[in-house]
């Protein structure tokens, strides 16, 4: 086997390839407010807001598309050791229903920290999917954030990363401050309105279109062997998936003791990976160049040998 072929095989072994059938999937992370105020009654319904939210989520989750990956992230709940009551992944309606019914309202509203946690998980999923699929962050809340500074910092970054943000305001006296800063805001002042709002969000999930830029990218790499193209796409996809509040050279994450940072600290991404995300691109470029030069060198030697044979004749 030619040395150039061995080089390509080595690169493909180092960079894992996408799994067939998983490259077009909808991803939704639901950030559910389980603060103390959610234990209050919803308008004149004589039902507590938390109870209404649980019932609406159970009803709607049973109807969503099976190719939708769902994650449920709950803050301020008294009985939860892990805020990810249902980690982002394939839909299992029975397990998801059990997770939805777990939270007990308690505590405050560290919305900014949880926006980061949910968005970071979506960015990780997008990197794993090489940019394919749709990515949405849905916030269901009945109040304003205690960590407003984090909300102000993180929301524009989430939007800039291409994640769709939806907010449902549960029985709020006035519109949430995020109402004019996200893709869609829906009021839910009664149980029926909350169910309708959730149905509307998930109806849009199935209607999301694939980014035209992805199609153009595939047109450009069409002549490249499929395995090499997949490895290149993996390297390129990571460049737009740095964690929220962080950048290639500087992290802008609140430190411990920040008065605006309530609840668990935002999830941190591995700094070494973030700073070195571009290394596969350079490595692949070098490998491709070596393969091309080696190939040309081999062709040149073959032509020289043929010419020598003709000369001897």
For residue 68, give the H/E element and its range.
strand 68-75
Cα separation values, 230 from 54, 118, 221, Å: 41, 27, 10
CA distance 115 to 94: 26
Tell me if residue 57 falls in helix, strand or coil.
helix
**Residue 139, beta-bridge partner list:** 31, 167
Helices (H), the chain: 3-14, 49-61, 93-100, 111-128, 148-160, 191-207, 212-221, 226-237, 271-275, 279-312
Task: Note the pTM of the prediction, 2 decimals.
Answer: 0.67
Q: Compute the half-sphere exposure of residue 220: CA atoms within 13 Å on the CB side of its CA.
A: 8
Q: At what angle do helices 148-160 and 111-128 cross, to 10 degrees?
A: 20
Domain annotation for the chain: domains and CATH numbers: 3-18+213-312 (no CATH), 26-207 (3.40.50.410)
Q: Could you tell me if 279 and 14 are in contact, meaning their C-beta atoms sit under 8 angstroms apart?
A: no
Residue-level pLDDT, tens digit, the chain, 313 residues: 544 444 444 444 444 444 444 445 899 999 999 999 999 999 878 899 999 999 999 999 999 988 999 999 999 778 888 999 999 999 999 999 999 999 999 999 999 999 999 999 999 999 998 888 999 999 999 999 999 999 999 999 999 889 999 999 999 988 999 999 999 999 999 999 999 999 999 999 877 544 443 444 344 445 555 555 555 454 444 446 788 887 643 333 343 344 344 444 444 333 333 333 333 444 444 444 444 445 555 555 555 555 445 444 5
Query: Who's near 222: CB < 8 A, 6+ residues apart?
Result: none
For the residues of 198-246, what is the DSSP string, one character each?
HHHHHHHHHHPPPPHHHHHHHHHHTTS-HHHHHHHHHHHHGGG-PPTTB
Q: In what order do the strands lie in the sheet with 26-33?
A: 84-89, 68-75, 26-33, 134-141, 164-170, 184-188
């Amino acid at each position: 086997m030619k040395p150039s072929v061995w080089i390509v095989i080595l690169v493909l072994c180092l960079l894992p390839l996408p799994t067939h059938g998983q490259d077009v999937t909808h991803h939704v992370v639901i950030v559910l407010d389980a603060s103390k105020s959610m234990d209050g009654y919803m308008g004149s319904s004589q039902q507590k807001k938390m109870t209404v939210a649980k019932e609406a989520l159970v009803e709607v989750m049973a109807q969503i598309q099976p190719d939708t990956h769902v994650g449920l992230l709950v803050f301020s709940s008294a009985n939860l050791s892990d805020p990810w009551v249902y980690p982002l992944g394939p839909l299992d309606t029975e397990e998801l229903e059990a997770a939805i019914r777990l939270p007990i309202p308690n505590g405050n509203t560290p919305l900014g920290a949880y926006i980061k946690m949910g968005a970071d998980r979506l960015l990780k999923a997008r990197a794993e999917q090489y940019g394919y699929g749709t990515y949405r962050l849905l916030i269901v809340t009945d109040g304003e954030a205690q960590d407003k500074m984090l909300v102000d910092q993180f929301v524009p970054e989430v939007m800039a990363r291409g994640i769709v943000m939806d907010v449902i305001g549960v029985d709020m006296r006035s519109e949430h401050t995020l109402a004019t800063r996200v893709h869609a805001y829906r009021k839910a002042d009664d149980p029926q309105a909350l169910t309708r709002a959730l149905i509307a969000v998930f109806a849009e999930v199935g209607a999301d279109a694939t980014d035209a830029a992805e199609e153009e990218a595939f047109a450009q790499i069409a002549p490249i062997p499929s395995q090499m193209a997949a490895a290149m796409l993996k390297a390129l996809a990571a460049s737009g998936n740095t964690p929220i509040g962080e950048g290639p050279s500087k992290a802008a994450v609140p430190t411990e003791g920040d008065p605006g940072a309530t609840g668990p600290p935002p999830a941190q991404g591995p700094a070494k990976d973030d700073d070195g995300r571009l290394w596969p691109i350079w490595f692949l470029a070098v490998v491709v160049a070596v393969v091309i030069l080696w190939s040309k060198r081999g062709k040149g030697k073959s032509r020289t040998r043929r010419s020598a044979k003709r000369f001897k004749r």
